[in-house]
Structure 1
Amino acid sequence: MNTPSTNTPSTSQDLAQLSCTPRQQALGDTDIATLHALLPQWSLQNGKLCRDFGFKNYYQTLAFVNALAYMTHTQDHHPELIITYKTCAVRYDTHSVNQGAGGLSENDFICAAKADLIYQSSQVAP
């Protein structure tokens, strides 16, 4: 990978165990495809890593958003969020790579894997 972690992750759980670090170069197409294969619920749209999360009600949606906000703060890597009553759309990309032109970095995939774990743990009735 253009900006490799210490060990190349082989599962989404491996990816979620990594931490974000400052990146200057975007990933190439091969690296994007390799990491995207670990996150089948996520799609690539207009240069962003995207997923829509569904919930039973607004309370659960906001509980997820709050947990996601805490995680993204600790990782210093913040997504675009679109929040509705029963959904939260999450869009990751890295603005700082490619001399500010943007693109996808390993950080986007790390945070996406962490978001999946938050979602899995949030599927318990309040």
Structure 2
Amino acid sequence: MTDVQISAHLARVPGWALVDGAIEKTFRFDDYHRTMAFVNALAWIAHREDHHPDLRVSYDRCTVRFNTHSVGGISINDFICAARVDALLTD
């Protein structure tokens, strides 16, 4: 994807940012139980999509990082998965 395409797609997934060749977002939670529930739900989505992010998990937060190794950068799949991860937390 070009920088212009990436910027356009980032505008559609609030809170996600371009960081060192990937898109990433940190999600914050009240406690470890909620953090792990999020991680488990995210793992189900990643398995279903066959598109697996890098995760950094702490007590009250999880940083999710998507890029597509097969294209050596960012693809539309990264943004699709980012939107699906965001949907886990909408009412």
Corresponding letter in the other structure for 1:116: D
1:109 aligns with 2:79: yes
Structure 1 vs Structure 2 CA RMSD: 0.9
Corresponding letter in the other structure for 2:41: A
Per the TM alignment, residue 33 of structure 1 is displaced from its structure 2 partner at its CA by 1.1
CA–CA distance in 2 between the matches of 1:58 and 1:120? 19
Deviation per residue, 1:13-71 (Å, 9 max, x gap): xxxxxxxxxxxxxx111211111110121111111101000000000000000000000
Contiguous gaps of at least 5 residues in structure 1: 1-26, 122-126
**TM-score, scaled to structure 1:** 0.70
Corresponding letter in the other structure for 1:87: R
Corresponding letter in the other structure for 1:44: L
Q: 1:75 matched to which residue of 2?
A: 49
Per the TM alignment, residue 72 of structure 1 is displaced from its structure 2 partner at its CA by 0.5
CA–CA distance in 1 between the matches of 2:38 and 2:58? 12
**TM-score, scaled to structure 2:** 0.96
Q: Which has the larger radius of gyration?
A: 1
Report percent identity of matched pairs: 47
Q: 1:93 matched to which residue of 2?
A: 67
Q: 1:17 matched to which residue of 2?
A: none
Q: When you count strand as a share of all residues, which structure comes out higher?
A: 2
| Match among 22, 27, 33 for residue 53 of structure 1 | 27
